[in-house]
Amino acid sequence: MLKTQHSPIPPGSEKHHYHILDGLRGVAAIVVVWFHIFEAYATSHVDQIINHGYLAVDFFFMLSGFVIGYAYDNRWKTMTTREFIKRRLIRLQPMVAIGALIGALIFYFQGCPVWDVSQVAVISLFAATFVNILLIPSPPGMEIRGLGEMYPLNGPSWSLFFEYIGNLLYALFIRKLSTRSLAILVVSAGCGLASFSFWGPNGDICSGFSMTGTEWTGGSLRLLYSFSAGLLLFRLFKPLNVKNSFWLCSLSLAILLAVPRLGGQNAFWMNSLYETACFTVFFPLILLFGASGKITNPYTDKICRFLGNISYPLYMVHYPFIYLYYAWVKNEKLSFLDSLPGALAVVIGSILLAWLCLKLYDEPVRKYLTALFLKRKVLPRETPVIQESGLPQ
C-alpha cells in the first residue's frame, strides 16, 4: 500500500507558475473578510448573509494539497523531511507571528466594553501572544477573549495549525501512498466529512477553531479530506481547454462562498447536501479549471499576481480589525447600511496593511531566514515557481 509516487511533472522539466490559482486564493481571502464582517449582524451561521465563507478554508486546504504535490513530489530524492519542514516554517510562520502581534496590540488598545481589557492582566496578554506566535493552541486559562477559540488574538490562525498538521502528514506518510491508496483515503475522509455535516450538531462543517471534541473532529476531517483530495487531483491532473478560466472560476468561487444558508433550522440536511456538493464536486472542478487555464491578458496577469501576493498576509492580518468592527456595530446598534463606510474601511485597510506587511516584513524576513537556515543565497530577482501552500499566501 505504501510506495513513493511518481510525479506527473518529469524530473528536470521546467515548472511554470499557476498564476490563476494564486488569483483564486486571493479572491477567496477577500470573500473571507466579507464573511467575517457579516458575522456582526448574525446570531449564528443559520441567519448570516454571505453565509458559506468558512468553506474557503476547505478550498485552501484542497489547493494546498495540489500545489504542495506540484512543488515537492519530485524533490524527495534530494530533500530531507527536516529541510521540508524548514521550508514550510519559513514560508508560513512569519505572518503567523505578525498576525498575533497585531492582534495583541488591537486587543490591548481597543477600549470597548465587549471585551473588557481591564479584566485581563498584562502577563496574561503576553502569555496569550507568546503561544499564538508559536502557534500553540491556547489552554483554557489563556483564552483571554472568552469565546473558546484556539487563538483568541487572531482567530484564523487555527487553519494554519491544521495546515502544519497536513504538511507533516504529507512529509511522513501521505506522499508515500500509491495513487490507489490515496484515492481510498480521500473517499474515506470525504465520507467522514459528509457524515459530520449531515449528523453533526449544526448541519454544516464550520468547525475547527477550538479544542473541543466536536471542533477537533470537524477540523481534522476538513484537513484530511481536502488536503488529500488536492494531492490526488495533482496526481491525476490533465490540462483541459478552458477559456477565461480565471474570471469563470473567480465568479463561481465567490458565489459558492456567498450562498445563503439553505433549509434553515428545520432542514439542516439541505445545507449539508450543498456543502458536500461544494467540497466533493464544485471545488475540485474550480481547481482543475484554474490549473488548466492560461492567461493571455496582461491586466488579468497583474490582477492574479496582486491577489496571490496579498492573499496570505490579508488572511492573517484582517481578523483583529474584525473584532473592533464587531464591537463597534454591537455597541452602537448599527445596521449594515449604517456601518457600510466602516466595513469598506476594514476591507480596504486590511488589503493595504497586507501589502505593507508583505513588502516591509514578510518578504525580507523570509529572504533572511532562507539564507540563514537553507544555506543558499537568495538572488535579487529570484521568485518561487509556485506559492507552496493552498492557504491564502
Q: Which residues of 198-230 are buried (b: 16+ CB within 10 A; e: fewer)?
A: bebebbbbbbbbbbeeebbbbbbbbbbbbbbbb
Residue with cell 492582534: 103
pLDDT band at 217 (very low <50, low <70, confident <90, very high): very high
> Which whole number is the average pLDDT over 277-290?
97
| pLDDT score at 330 | 85
Checking if the pLDDT of 386 tops 60, the result is: no
| pLDDT score at 332 | 87
Query: Looking at the chain, how many residues does it have?
Result: 393
Distance between CA atoms of 111 and 107, rounded to whole angstroms? 8
Model pLDDT for residues 234-263, shown as the tens digit of each residue: 999 998 888 899 999 999 999 999 999 998
Lowest-confidence pick of 2-11, 88-97, 99-108, 339-348: 2-11
In the predicted model, what is the mean pLDDT of the chain? 89
Most confident of 266-270, 276-280, 290-294: 276-280
pLDDT band at 118 (very low <50, low <70, confident <90, very high): low
How much is the CA Rg of the chain, to the nearest whole Å?
20
Cβ contact 322:39 at 8 Å: yes
| pLDDT score at 389 | 53
Checking if the pLDDT of 339 tops 70, the result is: yes
Cβ contact 263:269 at 8 Å: yes
Checking if the pLDDT of 14 tops 80, the result is: no
Distance between CA atoms of 228 and 242, rounded to whole angstroms? 25
Cβ partners under 8 Å of residue 197, min gap 6: 203, 204, 205, 271, 272, 275, 276
Q: pLDDT exceeding 90 applies to what percent of the chain?
A: 69
Q: Which long-range CB contacts under 8 A does 234-240 form with residues at least 24 apart? A: 234/8, 234/65, 234/66, 234/67, 234/69, 234/70, 234/73, 235/5, 235/8, 235/69, 235/179, 235/182, 236/179, 237/8, 237/66, 237/288, 237/291, 239/291, 239/292, 240/288, 240/289, 240/292
| pLDDT score at 47 | 84
Checking if the pLDDT of 270 tops 70, the result is: yes
| pLDDT score at 57 | 97
| Residue 117 CB burial class (10 angstroms; 0-12, 13-18, ≥19) | middle
| pLDDT score at 349 | 97
Distance between CA atoms of 231 and 63, rounded to whole angstroms? 8
| pLDDT score at 382 | 40
Residue 120 gets the label, from left (phi > 0), alpha (psi -120 to 50) or beta, of beta
The whole model's pTM is what?
A: 0.90
| pLDDT score at 182 | 98
